[in-house]
Amino acid sequence: MKTIVLSLGGSILVPSLETNALASYAATLVRLAERFQVYVVVGGGEARRYIGCARALGVDEATLDEVGILVTRLNARLLVAALGRAAYPRVPENYTDARVAGLSGRIVVMGGVTPGQTTDAVAAVLAEEIGADLLINATSVPGIFTSDPKRDPTARRYETMTPGELLELVGRERMNAGSNTVIDLVAAKVVERSRCPMIVLEGRDPSRIEDAVFSGRFIGTIVADGIDRPLPL
Ligand code: UTP
């Protein structure tokens, strides 16, 4: 069975506790799991508010990251609850435990692992460790752009790019103060060395992920060496 790792932004899954997409995502993930082994790495979303609260108390950045990690794990726990028996019941806190959880054949859901990165990096490392066939990054923008499309109206989307081009773009962007790249640098580096194909798409509507996986139809960016549409699954 082929394996998919999904990096699911917290702002997509749980924009707020009142407006969450937990039930609709659970239904999508169950359908994906009928055909694939599925691992999900959930982001923080509201983590920003907790981090802001702790920062105002003068807490150091590494401890703020620890606060963020706890929120990602809490969101992961909510998704496990929404998935019911389809999910492995525990949220793994490291990659080895995630691999062991995967042996159950159930959907594995985890959050952050270590300070200094985001859950995109966790998903990239997990994809590398388990030899995933596809890494999907579901985020709030429809792909990877030449610059931040939320700020720059002339930003153009990449249909495809190589992992080397992604690394170059992310490295360049980070030198500009206030820039907000869609993929973090650690994730870009791991994608480059693992050669795991990645797609980046706007994920507010979970049916877009099913369309991408089952029919290869999506608006977004493929990051891979020498692979063009349709998807490599
Ligand atoms: P996210 O992965 O959600 O960050 O982790 P993000 O990409 O900025 O937010 P969304 O979800 O896509 O909107 C939330 C915070 O948790 C900490 C970081 O502080 C991060 O900003 N974190 C997360 C870690 O320190 N390490 C991890 O492995 C994961």
pLDDT tens, 153-182? 999 999 999 999 999 999 887 555 444 568
* Burial classification of residue 189, based on how many CB atoms lie within 10 Å of its CB (0-12 exposed, 13-18 middle, 19 or more buried): middle
Q: Is 117 in the pocket of ligand 1 (CB under 6 A)?
A: yes
**Whose CA is closest to atom 7 on ligand 1?**
118
**Ligand 1 center to 186 CA (angstroms):** 12
**Whose CA is closest to atom 8 on ligand 1?**
118
> Which tokens hold the place of 14?
């749980």
Q: Is 133 in the pocket of ligand 1 (CB under 6 A)?
A: no
Distance CA 231, CA 52 (A): 39
Parallel, antiparallel, or unpaired for β 220-223 and 160-161?
Answer: parallel
Residue 202, classed as helix, strand or coil, is strand
**Ligand 1 center to 110 CA (angstroms):** 12
Among residues 46, 39, 66, 45, the alpha carbon closest in space to that of 124 is found at: 39
Atom number in ligand 1 closest to CA 113: 28
Mean pLDDT of 7-23: 94
Distance of CA 77 to the CA centre of its chain: 16
**Whose CA is closest to atom 15 on ligand 1?**
68
More confident residue, 99 or 171: 99
Q: Is the pLDDT of residue 96 over 60?
A: yes
More confident residue, 233 or 91: 91
**Whose CA is closest to atom 14 on ligand 1?**
44
Who contacts 163 (Cβ-Cβ below 8 Å, separation ≥6)? Answer: 188, 191, 192, 195, 198, 223, 224, 225
Q: Is 142 in the pocket of ligand 1 (CB under 6 A)?
A: no
In this predicted structure, what is the pLDDT of residue 28?
98
Q: Is 13 in the pocket of ligand 1 (CB under 6 A)?
A: no
Distance CA 148, CA 178 (A): 10
Who contacts 232 (Cβ-Cβ below 8 Å, separation ≥6)? Answer: 133, 134, 197, 224
Mean pLDDT of the chain: 92
**In the chain, domain spans:** 3-223
Who contacts 176 (Cβ-Cβ below 8 Å, separation ≥6)? Answer: none
Q: Is 12 in the pocket of ligand 1 (CB under 6 A)?
A: no
Q: Does domain 3-223 have CATH number 3.40.1160.10?
A: yes
Cβ-contact 69, 115 below 8 angstroms:
yes
**Ligand 1 center to 92 CA (angstroms):** 16
Distance CA 34, CA 32 (A): 5
Who contacts 233 (Cβ-Cβ below 8 Å, separation ≥6)? Answer: 2, 4, 36, 133, 134, 213, 216
% residues pLDDT > 90 (the chain)? 84
Given pLDDT bands bounded at 50, 70 and 90, which one contains residue 230?
Answer: low
Q: Is 37 in the pocket of ligand 1 (CB under 6 A)?
A: no
